[in-house]
Structure 1
């Protein structure tokens, strides 16, 4: 049952009758002898109210009920994003099973660095990959999003090259028929100020033309002293729908991030370990230089999403996006203490920088057909996608910079200009053909998929010191497959099994000058989902085994430049539990637990380096858990008051290349309050007041350490208050 305070997002294309029914009635439809047919809908349709999503297009590119998808998927709804006060993708993912967000803590706010099931993940926007280098990353602001889908495990069949951890699909806000006018003002600690606007509705009386205009500006001091954050974006969208069978949406975004914190680190001594004097560095300690620090990014994109249904059997969809991004990066960063230091007072530092320009084109076309062969109902998707990235990177050497006295830091020293050493032009191409069949017979759902990819990377690097130009070219082809089987019982239980593959191209050649094969990922997953009839709840459990193979290792005893082979492997075995529920009494609940055992299972030893076998990569906690509960008063003088609290536990992880030490576990508490002021006075109708506090007790925590010289503190307490007006 929908909670009274939640506002649904209206739909604007044809929807199957069963999806329009309340939850209890929809379940009665599902209780018939044959499951409800799968229909194609845009990613903007049937947006969930509350915390429980019913459908997802990310897993199969068809709008399939989550309870029928034989693979683990989590959906973070717009309500959850807003009520938890999330601003970045890392913050959006804080309460998601299997995800370890903010691997570099509060330092790397300019980047979306996280892992899923122990591996890095591919980031998508509206189902298409977001390309970008580190310093020109087109980061998506959370206010632009109406939901985020996290598909766990290898996903190359649908999206091409990528790691075995999974994909995160960020879905943009779309135009709505219903008039929407929203203005929001936010204030917080560290001089945080933000203004958001969101307008949507029909342009004409026949409602064939719909628009949406979303924008935001914010400024704040970073958690790291002497740093600041600043962002401006505007995202217009226009939908043309001449009939119930045809829809075209144009999506654009213009964004600039003039300042985005720092990208440094701190040594393990005085963060993870005590120095002889017992003094530790504060979480806001800055290792850089305020006058030299630069992170200026801007990007613009425009794209379309087209869908046409010829008849109840055949539907075609086409998506494309062009994106241009630029980034200017300059940084002074710590490289540990000065050699031979015994008082651990002076940080050795280096300086560097890049100028990056990037253009990317992505295209995805597919056709869907629905038909029956005897007792089997088929939903077949056949598609073609293409991606092209061209980037120009001007890079400097990493030269020594003046040391920093941690007890008397001078953040405005004469640093001097960067030393430009190379200019690289790179072009990447990916082309893929994919075919998928979702087969239903009675309460069984079988998912079969296959894809073939062609990948090519061409680069030309110019040494600016001697003028030498070094060209390189890498080609790779790969077939990836997926199979899954799920059975939907009448009582809401749905056990499933799946197998999925991924691939990632690699550059370079072996000792025989043969190009390296792509990295390959394979996952076996056994799980169960449970959706009690007549409720807005979804519970899931999954066991999984993932292997990442063809990793590069050093040939023992080899001398020269051709000393690598592909014998390495990393394996993850784990368990995920997730619960999402909306109760009729005003209580909403999200709870998660993840167990991830990630280690190198194959590696070569060399005279200068022991084998990594049995070691765990840094920054991957074995145990994680979280719970978020929100309760809204349903009666009394404070009716409409929402109160929420969250608990996030991150277990210990390893630091150092050979698990040299442990990074301690941490438990953080979040809280939120929100109130509909219209309940107190009719003159305040449409106004909402909210307060969000993350890390309520200001618990000092370390996100991860790669070595004794590189550690990162996590976020400290953050307080934000917002006033939103809707009319």
Structure 2
């Protein structure tokens, strides 16, 4: 989009001819104007209404039974206008628009992909597409998104199993009873190329077809070896649109082929011994931003996503609506990726880096059916807006990895010690300051015989209601029961001369979750609320594709239970064009899984986050738009269990020395701002600022990345009613900072300054 416009009313074009005619009429003598034989043209004066560009009064999910203004919960709605104006091309970039969200890095059991942390808690498995859980690790696109809804705080009453931090719901573009063709073509620095297409056609009075498509390729500024390439297509057709009975069929396909980034290692591997004095201060090592430790002819990252949905809806004569959503989804995540591992002491002792090989090939299939009934009813003089629903789902993840011959350790020593680097080590060791990504690493790659399968089934019943007691007071409540079963199986296998026995694990639990809130409206455009919500995180919450996996050690544990108390206010100003919101909250997980005094994993830990959040979204006058937020988080590990200070054979457990430490991957303060201003008809300028305070990479709080400010800028110009140009400059000051931190071994370094020029068209 070249400039901000209302979704309901387009900005009226400036007509110089009409303005001149009006001026001439005022200048003429009265007699000339009123002459009997004189017929003057009719002049129609129209004024564009002052309406918000960044405002969505209703949320996409039926489970929210009140408008956003009167929903007692912190929910950030990122509209497509902000996504397009800011130049975001991925979900991770779009989420930068709201504070309190950080991205984690891939490491060990954590895959490469959208590793989302909300208010300090991992929400990797809490991503939904149109209200349906989107399982499987992947890197998501934005070309088919209408908006992104970020619900903060425990929300298992809405989505079932999940983290205490919140969830992300992606709202897809759907067919409309309109005729339009929209698209964009963009080029930029670092070989940036991107094209999108959005076509909507009516096929009758109640039928429409829509097609969205995207192709994208680019290098990464300041990271010469890293590159991205992907394409996607999303057709949909709607029948009975605008009638009591409708059916929407949609399909989404996206695939990518990237060279993944390996990040920068930390410089703090020792906690005791004679080498402690050599340690750094816990930050990543100081090397040039372009330093890349991966291998071009070994590393890759390929993903593929296919989602088919059938959405049927019927509204009865009394206003009650029955809806059924069926979905089948399949995702794959396939990669070999170099982690610059600092844990072996090579950085400090030798100035070298071991090129640790991480790999994964995962396929996740999901089948989900949601049936819901919603409407309005008056009982005992009280108006109720309600929804009742049943959800059935099955998720299956099959995960494996790769093995390499002759191996990925130092060939000179057969281990991970890298006293030297280069060809003699098999290029598995490289120098800290001058690694060569084009080293001729040539090995044989094959699938590992170790395979893991996880099948998760869920049956859920839920209900939500907003009771309007009077014009001032309303009560919002929700209740959900989940029956959750997850089964893990790793078949027996032989690797070389080593035989490994089969492993199986199973967990089953039923858990209730609820959301309750009271809303007071002192005026029609404002609300004050208090709410209480819960979340349940059972063993194997990630469905077999992340850090929160099912194992024999945790299979018999109860779900981790979290609760959130929140007090907030939402207010609309400037004829409801600008919405302001603020909330204070206290999230408490009392039975977190930690190591108990006997060395086993038990539900005896505790984590707590206290904080507040402020936001603004909408118009300040006709020409000035703003989308901004600030979050403060005091995220502390209250009880981290026990630590073994003895040996494996003779353990000695003491209370964790990390009690009271700050959550990893969690900034204490974060701010985001995006704002645009129409300086002349057709000419809009804008910019953004992001601030993130210091972030720790481990619960020890010994490894960390510093705070940073990042600035972006944009300008757009409308050539005519069909074509506009948009210039975006990302990371305007070319700031060196780290944008993903969750591994204690390395940190992801952010892109440098880049520029793109996009031609947007609409017919």
Q: Report the 3-state secondary structure (helix = DSSP H, G, I; strand = E; otherwise coil) of the residue aligned with 2:82.
A: helix
Q: Counterpart in 2 of 1:464? A: 493
Alpha-carbon distance in 1 for matches of 2:346, 2:186? 48
More displaced stretch, 513-522 vs 663-672: 513-522
Q: Report the 3-state secondary structure (helix = DSSP H, G, I; strand = E; otherwise coil) of the residue aligned with 2:69.
A: helix
More displaced stretch, 214-223 vs 95-104: 95-104
Among 588, 591, 604, the alignment partner of 2:625 is 588
Report the CA distance between 1:327 and its aligned residue.
Answer: 3.0
Q: In the alignment, does 2:77 pair up with 1:68?
A: no
Report the CA distance between 1:144 and its aligned residue.
Answer: 0.8
After TM superposition, the score normalised by the length of structure 1 is 0.85
Please list every run of 5 or more consecutive structure 1 residues that lacks an aligned counterpart in the other structure: 11-47, 679-684
Q: Report the 3-state secondary structure (helix = DSSP H, G, I; strand = E; otherwise coil) of the residue aligned with 2:689.
A: strand
Q: Report the 3-state secondary structure (helix = DSSP H, G, I; strand = E; otherwise coil) of the residue aligned with 2:330.
A: strand
Aligned residues: 661
Report the CA distance between 1:454 and its aligned residue.
Answer: 0.7
Change (3 A) 1:554 1:140: closer
Check whether the contact 1:103–1:619 (CA below 8 A) recurs between aligned residues: no
Q: Report the 3-state secondary structure (helix = DSSP H, G, I; strand = E; otherwise coil) of the residue aligned with 1:225.
A: strand
Check whether the contact 2:486–2:507 (CA below 8 A) recurs between aligned residues: yes
Q: Counterpart in 1 of 2:57? A: 54
Q: Report the 3-state secondary structure (helix = DSSP H, G, I; strand = E; otherwise coil) of the residue aligned with 1:226.
A: strand
1:600-615 matches, within 5 Å, as 600-608=637-645, 610-615=656-661
Q: In the alignment, does 2:263 pair up with 1:265?
A: yes
Q: Report the 3-state secondary structure (helix = DSSP H, G, I; strand = E; otherwise coil) of the residue aligned with 1:90.
A: helix
Alpha-carbon distance in 1 for matches of 2:707, 2:226? 27
Alpha-carbon distance in 2 for matches of 1:359, 1:457? 14
Q: Counterpart in 2 of 1:403? A: 429
Check whether the contact 2:104–2:665 (CA below 8 A) recurs between aligned residues: no
Among 627, 631, 634, the alignment partner of 2:677 is 631
Please list every run of 5 or more consecutive structure 2 residues that lacks an aligned counterpart in the other structure: 10-50, 270-278, 411-427, 541-549, 646-653
Q: Deviations over 1:401-453 (max 9, x none)?
A: 61012344232333523571411222111111011221002121211111110
Among 90, 111, 114, the alignment partner of 1:112 is 114
Alpha-carbon distance in 1 for matches of 2:226, 2:111? 11
Alpha-carbon distance in 2 for matches of 1:585, 1:380? 36
Alpha-carbon distance in 1 for matches of 2:338, 2:98? 34
Q: Counterpart in 1 of 2:570? A: 529
Higher alpha-carbon Rg: 2
1:105-504 matches, within 5 Å, as 111-121=113-123, 122-132=126-136, 134=137, 137=138, 139-204=139-204, 207-223=205-221, 224-241=223-240, 244-259=243-258, 261-269=259-267, 280-336=286-342, 339=345, 342=348, 345-396=351-402, 399-400=408-409, 402-411=428-437, 412-418=439-445, 420-442=448-470, 443-465=472-494, 466=499, 468-490=501-523, 492-504=525-537
CA RMSD of aligned residues (A): 2.8
Check whether the contact 1:185–1:194 (CA below 8 A) recurs between aligned residues: yes
Change (3 A) 1:372 1:707: closer
Change (3 A) 1:340 1:168: closer
Among 606, 611, 634, the alignment partner of 1:597 is 634
Q: Deviations over 1:112-141 (max 9, x none)?
A: 233221112311101111000x3xx2x431
Alpha-carbon distance in 1 for matches of 2:526, 2:617? 15
Q: Report the 3-state secondary structure (helix = DSSP H, G, I; strand = E; otherwise coil) of the residue aligned with 1:70.
A: coil
Alpha-carbon distance in 2 for matches of 1:62, 1:659? 39
Q: Deviations over 1:507-557 (max 9, x none)?
A: 56899x981001111100001111136231100110000012322222225
Change (3 A) 1:575 1:344: farther
Among 644, 648, 663, the alignment partner of 2:686 is 644
Change (3 A) 1:217 1:721: same
Check whether the contact 1:56–1:65 (CA below 8 A) recurs between aligned residues: yes
After TM superposition, the score normalised by the length of structure 2 is 0.82
Report the CA distance between 1:566 and its aligned residue.
Answer: 1.1
Alpha-carbon distance in 1 for matches of 2:748, 2:178? 45
Report the CA distance between 1:675 and its aligned residue.
Answer: 0.8
Alpha-carbon distance in 2 for matches of 1:668, 1:109? 27
Q: Report the 3-state secondary structure (helix = DSSP H, G, I; strand = E; otherwise coil) of the residue aligned with 1:556.
A: coil
